[in-house]
Amino acid sequence: MNMSGNSIVKRIDWLTVLFFVLLVGIGWLNIYSSTFTEDNPNIFDLSQLYGKQMLYIGVSFIAIIVILALEANSYERFASIFYIISMVLLLGLFIFGKTIAGATSWYDLGVFNLQPSEFAKMATALALAKYLSDIQTDIKRWKDQLYAFLIILIPVVLVIPQPDPGSALVFFSLVFVMFREGLPLYHLGIALLAVLLFIFTLMFGTIWVAIGISLLIGIVFLFKRKTLKIPLIPLIVFFIIAIGFSLSVDLVFNKVFEQRHRDRFSLWLRLEKDPVKLAEIKKTIGYNTYQSEKAIESGGFFGKGFLEGTRTKGDFVPEQHTDYIFSTVGEEWGFLGTATVVILFTLMLLRLVYLSERQKNQFSRMYGYGVISILLIHYFINIGMVIGILPTIGIPLPFFSYGGSGLLGFTVLLFIFLRLDANRLNEWS
Amino acid sequence: MKKILLSSIIIIVGIVFIGRLSYLQIFSFSPNQVLEDPAIKAIYDYPERGYIYDRNGDLLVANQPAYDVMVIPREVKPLDTLEFCGLLGIEKEDFKKKLKKARVYSPRLPSVLVHQLSKEDYARLQEKMRKYQGFYIQKRSLRYYTTNSGANVLGYISEVNERDLARNPYYVQGELTGRTGIEKQYEEVLRGRKGVKYIQKDRFNRDIGPYKDGALDTLPQQGQEIRVTLDKDLQEYGELLMRGKRGGIVAIEPKSGEILTMISGPTYDPSLLVGRQRSRNYSRLHYDSISKPTWDRSILAEPSPGSPFKILNALVALEEGVINPSTTIRCYNGFYVGRTLRGCHCGGGLRTMNSGIYKSCNAYFAGTFRKIYDKFETTDQGMDVWEKHMKSFGLGDYLGYDLPTGRKGRIPGKEYYDRVYGDNRWSSSYIISNAIGQGEVAATPIQLANMTAAIANRGYYYTPHIIKQIGGKDISIPEFTKKKFTTISPEHFEPVIQGMAEVYTKGTAKWLQIPGIDIAGKTGTVENFTKIDGVRTQLTDHSVFVAFAPVNDPKIAIAVYIENGYYGSRYAGHIASLLIEKYTKGEISRKDLEKRMLEKTLEHEYAKPYSGEEFKINEYVW
């Protein structure tokens, strides 16, 4: 234990730790700014949100020490147990859950509310890594693919009724681990194609989509026929399926979706051409996004300065300290601040890819990819939503957003990987 | 591929984010967003609008407080509706409707419940106001007029509209701005600059303290009082005389170019456009398309000037040396254009320039006009010279006075006739009507008054203007203090003025002499036409008169234009005579003349074209 403690200080990836500290630090400053009131300047004041977040940071620090102190192989060993506990906790929400803001996602523990889905993310990543790294698993086999998918699907099925579609998406992101481990990429290609077809059909209608695909196929057929040797029949089948899908989009959009979903898409893709109705949508469901975009825009290049954000002070952006925390960065620190945060996330994620790739142990690598997938989807959807390029999906910004469960969950997620990474050279011990 | 998949996604996401952020924060960003920012509320401190005084320091326009009853629906507590409505002087149903409307607009923001309470209502209400939570009284400042004259020249103020807001970023919705006349022309002087306090708000619209500790706040700048060149008594008297008549009157002090009076008939009481009845009165006035009370005839009407224009033709002929004062021309009770005889009322016989003027002989001036053109080889050359002389009197173009509206009038040049008749297909015979001020020439009353002032000054004028003092200091605007010389040499004026003086002593206005004052003037009788059901129909002549007095030390130059007033010495001559006496002597000695003018109206003339029946014009009833 003593020996391993020393070696951990030497071997832990301090660069990732630095990114982590910077993101948590900047995050806390912005939470401070967005919840600040002049009469309570004490940063440890537990009656204030920034004081509570300070406490969570402290708790996370303790968690880091515990994680690093434990044996590296214990995570692999107990992965299944963590997973089962998490699923039970998610299941338990249906009976004991506390509803906050319309979602039954919390356990009321008296002193604070625990959101088990934050920990289920980590447990699912561990379980998936464990299953895929098993010597008997072959990702090329469809049965094993199915089991792997099942590991992801169970928590998805459990969080959707809460309702927490954001977390469901996060679990789905773990398919990236499978792609890394050999799941053929055309799965991804087909999924991407389906998403694009969906969007284009909504924006331009089936007829233009059909014309577009015909043109594309025509071009490919004329110029690449000899080199690619694509037979004609599958192309035609593809064409028919694509058109069929496109036609079903209209049906799903108008019959299956509810009005609020349709409105979100209308806003996102600017489908609504009537300016009066668009303004109406902007005011109602687009209100958060509109306000956060405006707040970010008003920051300009240099920002208004720390604690000087007028829209932040006026609480114009709802949920600003949680999901919309990035708009505070935009207003008070300007483009310099937002670009810095984006670059920090990018560097950290790239560093994690590098760390994962250098793992000799398959479990560690797969878990690393799980961590990256989870962080990336959070970061992508959250900032994408706040700056108005993605539809509204409630999901926190890792290390930034206010919330104990979230911060603790992300910290544990990351540091288990750093613990595994620190152990990569003596994994046999 | 599978190894770089995530890295590529991470980098692409980063680039997309940076791109979108630079679009938002660098390209869409505009630095001056303080007013757009919903978190910052500007609270304005309005300075009082400047007073307007007349040339003698008599107050014309001041301010009066008005009291609006405001309501903040969210703060309204249950109340004794019946008693409150009694105090406000409105019906209970009405009260409920207004309250509902205010709530729909915003439960948090104040709305006006009752506009502009009278002072009495305000006094009664004020002490009981505390009982009614959610209601309060807001003081506003309205214009207050000490005179019922001068509506058009003084102008009015009204709330800014979308166009004002787009044109001038100073204004904010709901503010007042000068809309016409002096109020518009001197808007910035009268208005001052509002002060502003920026308050930081939260999304519930609650104040949470000054923005940036008041670093951007400004203090209000007081509006300045102005003194205008109008003479209140003269203005009021003139409007009294104009009752029942349509037309325009402008009087100018020749020595300074100061406008002594500007009258347009029919007019209205400026107080009508203030207070609770404002919008109803406004529509009534604005949509009266027959008598057009808001159309300022003194600067917008462009009739043919008629016979006063003969004086200018005489001056041009003298300057060009084609006649001298003793040149004679025979009048055959008219003059021939080709073989047709055009009539004249002067009585016929041999005319000199002098008798040509005071008897207003058409033949004499037709002859004179021809002589001007005959001097030159081509009509084009003659036209250019004639046009240059005429325009030097301020005719045919904007005068440059300090009021926001006006018309050019018309001095037709060769291009005009080339357009009408074809290139070089016209000669002086075609345009002979201009000799007697009929035909194509046109002038606004203020141009006629200015022309008269130039004659009174023997060859120069000052640009007419309405402003005298700003903030207690005399104006020093070079445009208004520089002499503008006509192209006529000073020595040619005396014989012409002699003729104009004899208009009063033995000519067309000999019944209008003022005892003890030498006046020089000229009558005008202007034929005019209208279209009734598409048929060009002649109406009773317009009555025109220009005059200045005293002859040797002119203090007032005046032009009077009365629509369908028949011949010049009738309405226009009478009114000019009375106004000159009023201005120079302060009181009227000829009570019978005054009485006649006060009693006579021309409504029967104005009714003729709308009667739908055949009617006679130029009837000799008096």
Which chain A residue's Cα is nearest to B40? A310
CA gap B472, B491 in Å, rounded: 39
pLDDT above 90 covers what percent of chain B?
Answer: 54
Q: Give me the sheet containing A113-114, strands edge to edge.
A: A98-100, A103-108, A113-114
| CB neighbours of residue B326 within 10 Å | 9
**Alpha helix (H) residue ranges in A108-185:** 116-133, 142-159, 165-172, 175-180
Examine residue B120 and state whether it is found in any structural domain, yes or no. yes
Question: Which residues on chain A are in Cβ contact (under 8 Å) with B33?
Answer: 298
Write down the pLDDT at residue A226.
67
Q: For each successive 10 residues of chain A (429 residues), what is the average pLDDT?
A: 61 94 95 78 79 93 94 91 95 89 84 88 95 88 90 92 87 90 82 85 84 82 69 78 83 74 76 70 75 88 85 78 92 94 97 93 93 96 92 89 92 95 71
Residue among A74, A68, A72, A76 nearest A6 (CA)? A68
Contact assignment for B5 to A179 by CB distance below 8 Å: yes
What is the nearest CA distance from A333 to chain B, expressed in angstroms?
11
Contact assignment for B7 to A350 by CB distance below 8 Å: yes
What is the nearest CA distance from A251 to chain B, expressed in angstroms?
31
Delimit the domains of chain A by residue range.
2-184+353-426, 191-283
pLDDT digits (tens, 9 = 90+) for B324-365: 999 999 999 888 888 888 888 888 889 999 999 999 999 999
Q: How far from A321 is each of A22, A77, A318, A402, B450, CA to CA, in Å? A: 17, 37, 8, 6, 73
Q: For residue A417, give every residue at least 6 positions away whose Cβ sits within 8 Å of its Cβ, in sequence order, or none.
A: A352, A355, A356, A364, A367, A368, A371
Q: Which two tokens stand for residue A133?
A: 């790294």
Contact assignment for A311 to B211 by CB distance below 8 Å: no
Examine residue B30 and state whether it is found in any structural domain, yes or no. no
Q: Are residues B236 and B135 in the same domain?
A: no
**A383 contacts chain B (CB < 8 A):** yes
Domain count, chain B: 2
Q: How far from B197 is each of B172, B211, B277, CA to CA, in Å? A: 14, 8, 33
- Dihedral angle computed from the Cα positions of residues B363, B364, B369 and B370, in that order, rounded to the nearest 10 degrees: 70
CA gap B129, B184 in Å, rounded: 37
Which of B5, B6, B8, B41 should be substituted to probe chain A, the one whose Cβ sees the most A Cβ atoms within 10 Å?
Answer: B6
Task: Tell me if B216 sits within 8 A of B34, measured CB to CB.
Answer: yes
DSSP for A42-108, written as a single string:
-TT-TTSHHHHHHHHHHHHHHHHHHHHHS-THHHHHHHHHHHHHHHHHHHHHHHH-EEETTEEEEEE
Task: Provide the phi-psi class of B522: left if phi over 0, else alpha when psi is between -120 and 50, else beta.
Answer: beta
pLDDT digits (tens, 9 = 90+) for B46-62: 888 999 999 999 999 99
Q: Give me the sheet containing B535-549, strands edge to edge.
A: B258-265, B247-253, B556-562, B535-549, B520-532
Q: Which CATH number does the domain housing residue B74 bear?
A: 3.90.1310.10
CA gap A342, B21 in Å, rounded: 10
Question: Which residues on chain A are in Cβ contact (under 8 Å) with B209?
Answer: 38
Write down the pLDDT at residue A218.
81
Examine residue B170 and state whether it is found in any structural domain, yes or no. no
Name the phi and psi angles at A379, rounded to 5. Answer: -60, -45
Contact assignment for B39 to A311 by CB distance below 8 Å: yes
Name the phi and psi angles at A89, rounded to 5. Answer: -60, -40
Question: Which residues on chain A are in Cβ contact (under 8 Å) with B13?
Answer: 346, 376, 379-380
Task: Tell me if B146 sits within 8 A of B51, measured CB to CB.
Answer: no
Angle value at C-alpha B613, between B609 and B618, nearest 5 degrees? 55
What is the nearest CA distance from B170 to chain A, expressed in angstroms?
22
Which chain A residue's Cα is nearest to B19? A339
Amino acid identity of residue B492, one-letter, is H
Task: Examine the fold and report which residue of B145, B176, B207 is the final residue of a domain before the chain moves on.
Answer: B145
Q: Which two tokens stand for residue B13?
A: 């996401």
Which of A282, A310, A326 should be substituted to probe chain B, the one whose Cβ sees the most B Cβ atoms within 10 Å?
Answer: A310
CA gap B305, B437 in Å, rounded: 5
Structural domain of residue B269, as residue ranges? 232-285+300-544+553-592
Question: Which residues on chain A are in Cβ contact (under 8 Å) with B28?
Answer: 297
Contact assignment for B9 to A315 by CB distance below 8 Å: no
CA gap A302, A212 in Å, rounded: 43
Residue of A339, A353, A372 lying closest to B21 (CB–CB): A339
CA gap B316, B324 in Å, rounded: 11
Task: Examine the fold and report which residue of B97, B125, B145 is the final residue of a domain before the chain moves on.
Answer: B145
Task: Tell me if B75 sits within 8 A of B134, measured CB to CB.
Answer: yes
Tell me which long-range contacts B525-532 makes (C-beta under 8 A, separation of at least 24). B525/B306, B525/B307, B525/B566, B525/B567, B525/B568, B526/B303, B526/B304, B526/B305, B526/B306, B526/B437, B526/B438, B527/B304, B527/B438, B528/B303, B528/B304, B528/B564, B530/B609, B532/B609
Widest Cα–Cα separation across chain B: 119
Examine residue B180 and state whether it is found in any structural domain, yes or no. no
Q: Give me the sheet containing B40-45, strands edge to edge.
A: B40-45, B195-201, B207-210
pLDDT digits (tens, 9 = 90+) for B566-586: 888 889 999 999 999 999 999
Residue with the larger pLDDT of the pair B103 and A416: A416
**Given the structure tokens 């009114």, which residue do they identify?**
B575
Of A166-175, B20-29, B552-561, give the range with the top mean pLDDT: B552-561
Write down the pLDDT at residue A429.
42
Q: Which two tokens stand for residue B480?
A: 């208004």
Question: Which residues on chain A are in Cβ contact (under 8 Å) with B200?
Answer: 310, 313-314
Q: Which CATH number does the domain housing residue B391 bear?
A: 3.40.710.10
How far does Cα B110 stand from its chain's mean position?
38
Contact assignment for A335 to B3 by CB distance below 8 Å: no
Contact assignment for B3 to A316 by CB distance below 8 Å: no
Q: Tell me: pLDDT of B545 over 80.
A: yes
Task: Tell me if B515 sits within 8 A of B525, measured CB to CB.
Answer: no
Contact assignment for B17 to A387 by CB distance below 8 Å: yes
Question: Which residues on chain A are in Cβ contact (under 8 Å) with B215?
Answer: none
**A191 contacts chain B (CB < 8 A):** no
Confidence (pTM): 0.64
**A182 contacts chain B (CB < 8 A):** yes
Examine residue B366 and state whether it is found in any structural domain, yes or no. yes
Write down the pLDDT at residue A22.
96
Q: What is the mean pLDDT of chain B?
A: 89
Q: Are residues B260 and B396 in the same domain?
A: yes
Write down the pLDDT at residue B74.
77
Write down the pLDDT at residue B35.
55
pLDDT digits (tens, 9 = 90+) for B386-433: 999 999 999 999 999 999 999 999 999 888 998 888 887 888 888 899
Q: For residue B80, give every residue at least 6 positions away whose Cβ sits within 8 Å of its Cβ, in sequence order, or none.
A: none
Contact assignment for B17 to A335 by CB distance below 8 Å: no
Q: Are residues B478 and B345 in the same domain?
A: yes
Number of H helices, E strands in chain B: 22, 23
Residue among A66, A10, A3, A1 nearest A422 (CA)? A10
Task: Examine the fold and report which residue of B145, B172, B201 is the final residue of a domain before the chain moves on.
Answer: B145
* pLDDT tier for residue B469 given thresholds of 50, 70 and 90: very high
